[in-house]
Amino acid sequence: MRRTLLKAAVAVALGSASAFAGLAPAQAQDAPVRIGYAIARTGPWAAGAQITQEPNYIMWAEQVNAAGGLNVKGKKRKVELIGLDDRSEAETMVRTYEKLMGSDKVDLILPPWGTGANFAVMPLIQKFGYPMVAPTATGRKLLGMKNPYFFAILQQPDLMMDALGEFLKARNVKTAAVIHVDELFGLEQAAALEKSFKEKGIRIIEKKSYPLGVKDLKPVLNDIKAKNPDAFVALSYPPDTFLVTAQAREIAFNPKAFYASVGTAFPVYRDKMGPAIEGVMGLGTLNPKSSPAAKAYFDAHMARHKKEPDRWASAHAWAALQVMQQAVAKVGLDRKALRDAIAGGEFDTVIGKVRFRNGENATTPGVVSQWQGREFEVVWPPDRATAPALHPKPAWK
């Protein structure tokens, strides 16, 4: 199992709790803060995980160590990341976290990628009492588990879908067609979208699900094209987002509004699809124009990784690390105290002030973003917009 070690020079056995068992208290205080996680480096989850999460984990640990270490109630200690490939397998991911928390007894954990993976690890974080701030988990079903150690910093489906509904209503959109991946993320997003559209008088004239790993959506798109909806919404994962965009272009399906979900905010989507995506909308939060903090984050990510972060969950991943860092500085590594500090605190982050209510980020609104040129501009809500919206969507190029 590959591990990522980020510290100055500490002679310890990687990932072994026993290496610290005999240390005197003073020595233990000088030991690195061991932070464990499982993340997809291979398999279908890897595209999202390696854009949105692990690059942020690595950059954060490097920055913390360069500044002398993590502030643990006034004393700085180096950070050691113990990151393992979950191979995009829920079973492997769960086993890994069970080992990290149960036998390795790491100090802190960081979350896996994706709603489904976070859902699967929820019982373990409660069993072992490890707080987890998740940047790529969205769904009322997760929050409905009322796990006191789970915090969702990403906007929830009703917020994101209601933002889309408000945006489309303001542009007099009357009809829409919807497809969604048949997985927890897609199911919850679709339910939230249906509710919002009904409230706003937007009629859904076609709704279809598709399986994870789908290879061809052209028959579905041809059927929807024949119905001529004003708006098309794909509640999709990254591979599906690329697929549905390419195939809609192939059949010249060009509704007034075209919205796709996870992956639309990725710079690689822009680079691979090219100018054709002008006017395509999707889930977003911010871009380098949004604030000085956002610009500094984007610049640092580009300098370290030679690639841009995405415009949605990447910033939430960074914000989650900032929340954990500020809470550790306040109360240290006692996990119960840390949970209480996160639940009751307010945190300065790259996405703005963050407070949690019943495990949910209660401060970041739903956002609609749209590709214009080479930037994923925020177009809704108006008080966060970085550019006016293009509506109707331009023709495919």
| Amino acid 140: pLDDT | 86
Identify which has the larger pLDDT, 378 or 397: 378
Indicate the pLDDT class of residue 6, thresholds 50, 70 and 90: very low
pLDDT tens digits, 178-233:
999 998 889 999 999 999 999 999 999 999 999 988 999 999 999 999 999 999 99
pLDDT tens digits, 16-66:
343 444 444 444 568 999 999 999 999 989 988 999 999 999 999 999 999
Domain 157-288+367-384: top CATH class:
alpha beta
Sheet with strand 352-357: strands edge to edge: 132-134, 150-152, 360-361, 352-357, 346-349
| Amino acid 18: pLDDT | 38
* Rounded Cα distance, 154 and 194, in Å: 20
Q: Looking at the predicted structure, is the pLDDT value of residue 281 above 60?
A: yes
Q: Looking at the predicted structure, is the pLDDT value of residue 2 above 80?
A: no
So where are the chain's domains?
17-156+290-361, 157-288+367-384
**Given this chain, do its domains 17-156+290-361 and 157-288+367-384 carry the same CATH topology?**
yes
Average pLDDT of the residues in 150-157 = 96
| Amino acid 138: pLDDT | 87
**Ramachandran angles phi, psi of 14, nearest 5°:** -60, 130
Percent of the chain at pLDDT exceeding 70: 93
Give domain 17-156+290-361's CATH architecture: 3-Layer(aba) Sandwich (3.40)
| Amino acid 197: pLDDT | 98
Residue 281: which residues within 8 A CB-CB, separation 6 or more?
164, 257, 258, 259, 260, 264, 368, 369, 370, 371, 379
pLDDT tens digits, 62-95:
999 999 999 999 999 999 999 999 999 999 999 9
**Ramachandran angles phi, psi of 255, nearest 5°:** -70, 170
| Amino acid 141: pLDDT | 84
User: In the predicted model, what is the mean pLDDT of the chain?
Assistant: 92
pLDDT tens digits, 320-354:
999 999 999 999 999 999 999 999 999 999 999 99
pLDDT tens digits, 303-318:
999 999 999 999 999 9
| Amino acid 183: pLDDT | 87
